[in-house]
Structure formats: structure tokens, C-alpha cells
Amino acid sequence: MPWTRDEMAARAARELQDGYYVNLGIGIPTMVANHIPEGVKVTLQSENGMLGMGPYPYEGEEDADLVNAGKETITELPTSSYFSSADSFGMIRGGHIDLAVLGAMEVSAKGDIANWTIPGKMLKGMGGAMDLVAGVRRVVVVMEHVSRNGTPKILPECTLPLTGEGVVDLIVTDLCVLACDKQNGGLTLIECAPGVTVDEVVAKTGAPLTIADGL
């Protein structure tokens, strides 16, 4: 059975390591904060100018001045700090963020990512994704394996405008986990969701896959 959105976030959270500074993108990636492994301490960074984000507030305790980059209300911690957006992007561009978890519309077999616009659709803004994929040490993508009409979102080449080339390290979908070889190109299937077969993953993937031993 495919993973739910919450289960996808939980699987992505297993990529967090103790001491990491982490940026979570909009959508499913924000749910990763609810699944930080026990004993692992990470610091969440938001490009709108906050380091050390707390969990979502309880209903009725929201503070409209405390929001993440997706305009969702959050809470602060005793160790939280605030700064300008320019300083926040200085952290990202300077290589000080260990891991970013992002959503995507398409990912290629070479680790290219397209996640900021669809031609002909209204554009709210490109956000910080381009800076994140260029400046963060490791990029994990969390997304549905296929589009609403069943079209593969993992392709030999992206068809949508690129956010970054050769930047994705790992893809977590509702069906599986794929490792990207950013240097040589190619995707390796390393894990299937419970009840999902290798054949199903291969059939719904638009790019060739290498199958890890044991699957």
C-alpha cells in the first residue's frame, strides 16, 4: 500500500542527523518537523528569517507574527533567533545548511529538479528553492510518484523549467525511495513502500532504474 503524505514525511525525516541545520520546503516537507527521530537534535531554518523553529501551535494559541516561509503559523523555542531575509539567504548561499527537504513537480534521472513554475499558470514567486538547491549540502525531494492524471513525475529529462541541475540526492515518493547519482546520472531503487512491488515502481517511473540488492 502506498505511503500517505504523513508517512512520506516520516520516511524523509529518517535522513536527518544529529546536529543538522535543516530547511523544510512548503507542503509535505513541513510535516517532516513532526517526525524528527528520537534522540536527534536538529535546528530548523526558515528563509524568511528564523533559526530554531518550534512545532505548530495549538488551536487558539497562534501568533500571526510567527510564520514560516509558507506563511503557516509556528512557535518559537528558547533558542530561536531572528534576522533579516538577506542574512537568512547568506546562511543558505554560504553552505551552512546541511539538508533541505523540498517538494517537486518533476525530477530527472540526473538529479535535476523542477519545482517553481508551470508555464501558463499563475506564478506566486520562485521563493528560495533556487538558492537552496545551489547552497545546501544535501537535497531530499518528497513528492507523489505520478501526477493526478497518472503521468510519471520522475523522467529522463525534466520538461518544466529547472530549479537546479544535478542537485537532488534522494527522492521519497508515495511508492518508494530512490537514490540519485548526481555525478554520473542514474537512479537506484533502494526501498519500496509496504505492499508496493518493484514492478509497480518501474512501471510508474519514466526513467530507467537500477534495483538495489535485496529488493
DSSP state, residue 30: G
pTM above 0.85? Answer: yes
Q: What is the pLDDT of residue 192?
A: 98
Q: Choose, from 7, 15, 38, 47, the residue flagged as catalytic.
A: 47
DSSP string for residues in 6-23: HHHHHHHHTT--TT-EEE
The pLDDT value recorded for residue 125 is 66
Task: Report the Cα–Cα distance between both ends of the chain, in Å, rounded.
Answer: 16
Read off the pLDDT of residues 157-193 as tens digits, 9 standing for 90 and up. Answer: 999 999 999 999 999 999 999 999 998 999 999 999 9
Cβ atoms of residues 210 and 186 within 8 Å: yes
Q: Name the residue among 64, 158, 151 with its Cα closest to residue 118.
A: 158
Q: What is the mean pLDDT of the chain?
A: 94
47 labelled catalytic: yes
Phi, psi of 178 (to 5 degrees): -120, 135
C-alpha–C-alpha distance, residues 128 and 137, integer Å: 15
